[in-house]
Chains A and B, each alone.
Chain A
Amino acid sequence: ETGVTQSPTHLIKTRGQQVTLRCSSQSGHNTVSWYQQALGQGPQFIFQYYREEENGRGNFPPRFSGLQFPNYSSELNVNALELDDSALYLCASSSGGPADTQYFGPGTRLTVL
């Protein structure tokens, strides 16, 4: 196990609602990255947080936002949910260096009805 935890495990929401997903990073890691994995596809980078600041963002709209806390845990918030937001959301923690390896949590399965 990586030591990266995510909550909740599963979540069901309806279109238009808002959702918050949580991630606790591995001990000693100060960087958290979030990915969206649609069914049958590879993960896609949403954004990364390093020392409580956003440190890069993929091709996702502003309704995807995040936070990182002083203990390096992180939240992913999605507003105005759409059906296409249904996916597995993966959090990865790393040490933050340019050559670091990302270690993933078990993910949160979000279903939007």
Chain B
Amino acid sequence: AQKVTQAQTEISVVEKEDVTLDCVYETRDTTYYLFWYKQPPSGELVFLIRRNSFDEQNEISGRYSWNFQKSTSSFNFTITASQVVDSAVYFCAQRRYNNNDMRFGAGTRLTVKP
């Protein structure tokens, strides 16, 4: 069965600190997709990244980076030099190939203090 676990319920950091959000997933599939979404207080889920199971290359986009490790079934998200605008709830999600049911973790609430 598919399951996504975000063990960190809440994280609080001071601006300019680096922060890593953890995501662990369970699946028996060989082909699947992993996602990160950001949910600011407005409620809209903002797409950040999609990763294919057959591509373990890490990715960097500005201050954001993602570390995908199939061996540990983890897909962690790091924000470098955090900013107050990064404050939001972040969700990790998984979807099976050619399947429409996207499974979300419970989310991690990140608070960045000035």
Residues of A within 8 A of B (CB): 2, 31, 33, 40-45, 48, 50, 55-56, 58, 88, 90, 92, 98-99, 101-107, 109
Contacts and interface: CB of A to CB of B under 8 A. Distances in A.
Interface in B85-103: 91, 93, 97-103
A101 B97 contact: no
B50 A104 contact: no
Given A33-B100, A45-B100, A101-B47, A106 B42 contact: yes
Interface stretch (B56-64, B70-78, B104-112): B104-112
Interface of B: 4, 33, 35, 37, 42-47, 50, 52, 91, 93, 97-107
Nearest to B6: A42
Given A41-B106, A42-B105, A101-B50, A109 B100 contact: no
Given A42-B105, A104-B45, 13 more contacts: A2-B44, A2-B47, A31-B100, A41-B106, A41-B107, A42-B104, A56-B99, A88-B43, A99-B52, A101-B47, A103-B47, A104-B44, A105-B44
Given A99-B52, A101-B35, A55 B47 contact: no
A107 B46 CA distance: 12
Nearest to A90: B45
17 contacts: A33-B102, A41-B106, A41-B107, A42-B93, A42-B105, A42-B107, A43-B102, A44-B104, A45-B101, A45-B103, A56-B99, A58-B101, A101-B50, A102-B102, A103-B47, A104-B46, A107-B43
